[in-house]
Amino acid sequence: MKKTCYLSFNECVTILVMASLVATTFAGNFYDDMDITFGGARAKILNGGQDLTLSLDQYSGSGFQSKHEYLFGRFDMQIKLVPGNSAGTVTTFYLSSQGAAHDEIDFEFLGNSSGNPYTIHTNVFAQGKGDKEQQFHLWFDPSAAFHTYTILWNSQRIIFLIDNIPIRVFNNNEASGVPFPKSQPMRVYASLWNADDWATQGGRVKTDWTKAPFTASYRKFNANANMVVGANQMPTSSGNENQAWSTQGLDAAGRNRLRWVQTKYMIYNYCNDKKRFPNGLPTECKL
């Protein structure tokens, strides 16, 4: 069907240019969206900004952070993790504010020796306090191909998703006295670093530096989110199209997928760790 513009020529051109900018922002470009924070040449932006790789050797890891801060949104990143013997390495994708009383929402990917599965470590910090870990194995090899990892954060809940399948929900239970990250803007961060003192089987398996450099790959970042500029909250261009995330929860199908993941693939849940909390489980675990 032919599309007709009933505005002036200049107005039509302006609208078309703005639509083009929205599409470009939605696609994401690491040159536009991210700053390398450490590691020097170990972090590489490739293919005109479409891809980014992080490397780790025995001297340093590497990382990047978003140029902008956000207060609520949906954050998607495609990641291909370190292949082969990744024991001792930690690859991350997370949101965080600054300061001792910071908020944080974590995806951490704990490597393992060849043939063993990665451990997906999730955590939520509010006002500087975390200790809300859940860990999972996966139903696929995350080093063989790219998969999409998503943090959805709104005022009611946080949802962790992998390939749009929910693996964890952390609800806002402030009414019951449980702190929830809702007032501190956060940046997006990613890193690859060595943590062989704890990351793999509690530190029993160390990093094999003969396999270095270790490399993880990132692409197709998208922040459909409220970007904070100064004291004002402004929606990003990508957020103008669809802000369904702002009230999103799980429907029946989503709850079934969550139950499937947590039944078959969860390997640790702090809410079941009575030895760790001998004086009683955290409040949110009882709700």
| Residue 30 burial (10 A CB sphere; 0-12, 13-18, 19+) | buried
Q: In terms of DSSP H, where are the helices of the chain? A: 9-27, 30-33, 252-264
Instruction: Give the integer Cα–Cα distance in Å for 146 and 218.
Output: 8
Q: Which of 11, 104, 241, 284 is catalytic?
A: 104
Cβ neighbour number for residue 39 with a 10 Å cutoff: 21
Tell which residue, 185, 193, 195, 235, has the closest CA to residue 214: 193
Please enumerate in sequence order all residues whose Cβ is within 8 A of that of 204, keeping only pairs 6 or more positions apart, or say none. Answer: none
Tell which residue, 84, 92, 50, has the closest CA to residue 189: 92
Judge whether 174 counts as a catalytic residue. no
User: DSSP assignment of 39-60, as one string?
Assistant: SGGGEEEEGGGTEEEEEE-SS-
**Tokens 């849940």 correspond to what residue?**
269
Q: How far is CA 6 from CA 3, 18, 119, in A?
A: 10, 17, 56
| Residue 200 burial (10 A CB sphere; 0-12, 13-18, 19+) | buried
Q: Which of 108, 174, 241, 284 is catalytic?
A: 108
Judge whether 11 counts as a catalytic residue. no
Contact 81, 107 (CB under 8 A): no
**Tokens 């390939």 correspond to what residue?**
163
Cβ neighbour number for residue 17 with a 10 Å cutoff: 10
Q: Which residues are catalytic?
A: 104, 108
